[in-house]
Amino acid sequence: MPVIIYQVLAFVSPALYSNEKRYLYIAVPGVFFSFLVGVAFCYFLTLPFATHFLAGFLAGTIDPLWSAENYVDFVANFLFWVGLMFELPIIMFFLSKLGVVSHQRMAKFRKYAFVMAFVIGAAITPTPDPINQTLISLPIYFLFELGVILARFA
């Protein structure tokens, strides 16, 4: 991941003005930290529930046989998408800083954001149970609210 981030920064930075570069270099540690918090949240809170549910799903009918490849693929995919969702406040802050959207407009979007959080939570969560979906969706909505608060300071 650090190599990918370096390559993206090396590609994008020549096209930016000096003040934009300053914002970019300030944002990189925050983006990295928020991604790590999202991965830790997923690994310690939601992944145990998801794997327990999937292991017990139709347990009397079929035997769940997971290969190491399938398990690692599932865990890596789940960790990546939840970690990516934790970037939402930083994205909202910079969109507001660039003038793309204002914090007043984002605040009017709250009721739609709540529904979208559950739709995104359903898409990210690999299990059909409502507990895992809620464990993903509520933090997404709270991250949206944090993004609105951060956008107010932009």
Confidence (pTM): 0.79
DSSP string, the chain: -HHHHHHHHHHHGGGS-HHHHHHHHHHHHHHHHHHHHHHHHIIIIIHHHHHHHHHHTTTTTS-----HHHHHHHHHHHHHHHHHHTTHHHHHHHHHHTTSS-HHHHHHTHHHHHHHHHHHHHHH-SS--HHHHHHHHHHHHHHHHHHHHHHHT-
In this prediction, what percent of the chain has a pLDDT beyond 70? 94
- Digits of tens for pLDDT over the chain (154 positions)? 677 778 888 898 888 888 888 888 888 888 889 999 999 999 998 888 888 877 776 666 666 677 888 889 888 988 998 888 898 998 898 888 888 888 899 999 999 999 999 998 888 887 777 888 888 899 999 999 999 999 998 7
The domain limits of the chain are: 33-152
